[in-house]
């Protein structure tokens, strides 16, 4: 059985960035949907309607925030909270409820307070993301190709620089200065090796990259192949 996910507001910003990625779990089909709370291009929302769909989505994606609609009561099943990627990247949870009860490890808010609660949670999450990638700089963890990769400090700094300049050429000299703290360009083989290592992590076929491209005579460009042209 295939599961369909509804994506709302998938416009991209700033050369491919979706500002915040959310998973919205609608636990009861009889409950008013919360999708209307995210009616701007600040968010990309994946909307699911069962615990099984949520668990499947979280097994393949790392959102900035998970929002759970508990307006008809209920709780968040441990199986969803314990999905490895969500725990690894400390994804924050926001539960929407009006019963006033606390939920451990979760921000609880009313529908009226939801936009502010989600914005605060996403802003403080600290993930850098573009396309299928999410980087937690402090933990040196990268989500790519459907799994978590623990990076070296140099690979983390390199991926951070590329993500912060998504869609733009990052020149070799700029990389050497930012990552290796040197402007010496006499021998950049270590950069070539790190680019190869990074491609082995993020590309399906590292020898024919579609994300991390070489700009001959200049440097490299990380592109978001999911970005829509305007």
What is the DSSP-derived secondary structure letter of residue 151?
P
Domain boundaries, the chain: 6-125, 128-222
Say how many Å lie between the first and final Cα of the chain, rounded: 34
What is the DSSP-derived secondary structure letter of residue 203?
-
Tens place of pLDDT per residue across the chain (230 aa):
344 455 444 333 334 445 688 999 998 777 788 988 886 667 888 999 888 899 888 888 888 899 999 998 877 878 788 888 888 888 899 999 988 788 888 899 999 999 899 988 887 777 888 778 889 998 899 999 888 999 999 999 999 999 999 999 999 999 999 999 998 888 889 999 999 999 999 999 999 999 999 999 999 999 987 654 43
Q: What is the CATH number of domain 128-222?
A: 1.10.10.10
Nearest-angstrom CA–CA distance, 107 and 53? 22
Strand 141-144 with 107-109, pairing: unpaired
**What dihedral do alpha carbons 8, 11, 14, 19 form, nearest 10°?**
0
Nearest-angstrom CA–CA distance, 86 and 93? 10
Question: The domain 6-125 is classified under which CATH number: 3.40.50.1370, 1.20.120.1770, 3.40.50.970, 3.40.50.2300?
Answer: 3.40.50.2300
Q: Look-up: residue for tokens 């040196």? A: 140
What secondary structure does DSSP assign to 80-143, as a single string?
Answer: HHT-HHHHHTT--EEEE-SS---BTTBEEE-GGGHHHHHHHHHHTT-EEEETTEEEETTTTEEE
How many whole angstroms from its chain centre is CA 200? 19
Question: Residues 52-97: pLDDT tens digits?
Answer: 899 888 888 888 899 999 998 877 878 788 888 888 888 899 999 9
Is residue 189 helix, strand or coil? helix
């Amino acid at each position: 059985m295939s599961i369909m996910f509804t994506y709302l507001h998938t416009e991209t910003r700033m050369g491919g960035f979706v500002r915040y990625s959310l998973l919205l779990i609608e636990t009861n089909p009889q409950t008013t949907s919360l999708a209307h709370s995210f009616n701007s291009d600040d968010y990309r929302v994946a909307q699911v309607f069962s615990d099984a769909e949520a668990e499947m989505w979280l097994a393949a994606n790392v959102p900035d925030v998970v929002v759970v609609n508990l307006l008809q009561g209920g709780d968040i099943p441990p199986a969803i909270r314990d999905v490895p990627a969500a725990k690894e990247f400390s994804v924050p949870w926001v539960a929407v409820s009006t019963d006033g009860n606390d939920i451990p490890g979760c921000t609880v808010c009313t529908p009226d307070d939801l936009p502010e609660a989600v914005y605060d949670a996403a802003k403080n999450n600290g993930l850098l993301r573009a396309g299928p990638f999410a980087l937690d700089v402090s933990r040196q963890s990268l989500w790519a190709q459907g799994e978590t990769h623990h990076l070296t400090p140099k690979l983390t700094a390199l991926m951070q620089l590329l993500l912060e300049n998504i869609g733009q050429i990052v020149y070799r000299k700029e990389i050497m200065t930012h990552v290796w703290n040197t402007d010496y360009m006499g021998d950049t083989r270590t950069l070539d090796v790190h680019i190869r290592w990074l491609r082995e992590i993020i590309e399906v076929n590292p020898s024919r990259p579609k994300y991390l491209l070489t700009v001959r005579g200049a440097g490299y460009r990380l592109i978001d192949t999911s970005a829509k042209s305007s």
